[in-house]
Amino acid sequence: MNNWRHVTGVSGAHPTAGDLVWFADDPSADETWAYGYPAPDADERAARAWAATAHAAVEAAGQADVQVVGEGVLARLVRLALPDHAGTGSTPQPGVVIETTGTTAGIRSALAALSPSGRVLLAARPLSTMTPLPTYHGIHLPGSRVLPIPWCDGFGDLPEHLLRRSLHCVPRVSDRRDDV
């Protein structure tokens, strides 16, 4: 089952599919993504998964200077998960850019900010199956890498502060249920 949805105009039509409860990354954006979780414990499952994915992105970034692209919930959780000593984009070309929007503009922005030997970590699935990118000049930089961060299920140990914050900030898009 594919629990990802490309969402435009979140305040309008909401993605629905069976008994899934949907949570959008950035309800104020013109286009964003949502992830669906089965009821009845969808809120807790969503909070744990989003916190775990943010934690995984920070773990993959390592000790490098990090820039986060995006303003949605996942971006805020990634910034919260970064260690206090992390550089969070203090250099013009960080060693790691964590892309959280899934949009073409977000991915382009991440590639443009990256140092020539750095890594772009895709923490959200791209919204489109075809994302036009400046392949040679954007991706084919000496030593640069574009790597996915798998979406996590949220089971296991998580930093308590990150989980607490996630429980209060992952926005529900719709909770339509087709109960019989």
Which CATH number does the domain housing residue 158 bear?
Answer: 3.40.50.720
10 pLDDT tier (thresholds 50, 70, 90): low
Write the CB contacts of 127 (distance below 8 Å, at least 6 apart in sequence).
6, 31, 32, 33, 102, 103, 104
Average pLDDT over residues 46-61: 94
In degrees rounded to 5, what are phi and psi of residue 124? -130, 145
In a domain? residue 95 = yes
In a domain? residue 19 = no
In a domain? residue 26 = no
In a domain? residue 60 = yes
In a domain? residue 102 = yes
| Mean per-residue pLDDT over the chain, rounded | 81
Domain assignment of residue 167, given as a range:
48-171
pLDDT tens for residues 84-105? Answer: 755 555 567 899 999 999 998 9
Tokens of 70: 């995006």
In a domain? residue 33 = no
77 pLDDT tier (thresholds 50, 70, 90): very high
What is the percent of the chain with per-residue pLDDT over 70, rounded to a whole number?
Answer: 81
In a domain? residue 112 = yes
- Domain tally, the chain: 1
C-alpha 22/C-alpha 109 separation (Å) is 27
Strands 4-8 and 31-38: antiparallel
